[in-house]
Amino acid sequence: MKKIGLVGGISWTSTLDYFKYINEGINQRLGGLNSAECLIYSLNFSDVQDKGWINSFDLIYNACTNLVASNVDAIVLGANTAHLFADEIQSKIDIPIIHIAEATAKAIKEEKLSKVGLLGTKFTMEMDFYKDKLKESNIEPLIPLEKKDIEDIQHIVKNELGKGVVNKESKLKFIRYANELINRGAEGIILGCTEIPMLISQNNFDFPVFDTTKIHVENIIDFALNS
């Protein structure tokens, strides 16, 4: 089994999901008492917030190099927004980064979709690092049109979900945002922040929903078990 290095703490709530899903998936495939070989470097999310995501390269890169020094076989960035730095970090290290957007694009193409709504942090929605990975697979991403909606999504992710707080009113807002994107022509919705599945899931909709955490985990497990 290959050893996975997980950069976590961004936020700790989604890191719990990663650890749980990876180990459950390994056990489902191998049975017995099998679980994942995994190292977690859990960042202090407050440090990321104090610097701002744009200025957090050194924090993320330091976590990656510590994991590389511990002889892991691949790096996992446990947040969609952290992939802002994925290509730059990949150019500096000799082991693969299992990329969440590439895994998501593959899952979307398997469903034969070409236009999807993207909900995530304001950085994931507004910057190009994530959307470009989708476009490379001929997938057109749609994000909310209203700036206030993007700011509201950011507030909920950062100040509620990042602390493990699940609010019914916020859930209804996310359902509305998703449906508005579908009404604009999206064929499915990407839950492009690893905390969003705390609020909404496939169970809330009759169109395809792409849980990036679970999609990412399946690719992580495939890597770990691929001899």
Q: Coil, strand, or helix at residue 196?
A: helix
List the beta bridge partners of residue 192. Answer: 120
Domains belonging to the chain, first-starting first, are: 4-99+215-225 (3.40.50.1860), 101-212 (3.40.50.1860)
Q: Using 50, 70 and 90 to split pLDDT, how confident is the model at 161?
A: confident
- Percent residues over pLDDT 70 in the chain: 100
| 19 pLDDT more than 90 | yes
**Beta strand segments in the chain, E:** 4-8, 38-42, 74-77, 115-120, 140-142, 189-192, 209-211
| 227 pLDDT more than 70 | no
Q: Give exposure, 110-120, as e/b (b: 16+ Cβ within 10 Å).
A: eeebebbbbbb
Q: Coil, strand, or helix at residue 76?
A: strand
- Percent residues over pLDDT 90 in the chain: 89
pLDDT at 158: 86
The predicted-structure confidence for 162-221, as pLDDT tens digits, reads as follows 888 999 999 999 999 999 999 999 999 999 988 899 899 999 999 999 999 999 999 999
Tell me, what DSSP letter sits at residue 85? G
| 22 pLDDT more than 70 | yes
The predicted-structure confidence for 58-85, as pLDDT tens digits, reads as follows 999 999 999 999 999 999 999 999 999 9
Rounded CA-CA distance 26/18 in Å is 12
Of residues 189, 185, 190, the one with CA closest to residue 206: 189
Long-range contacts at 18-21 (CB < 8 A, ≥ 24 apart): 18/76, 18/78, 18/194, 18/213, 18/216, 18/217, 21/213, 21/214, 21/217
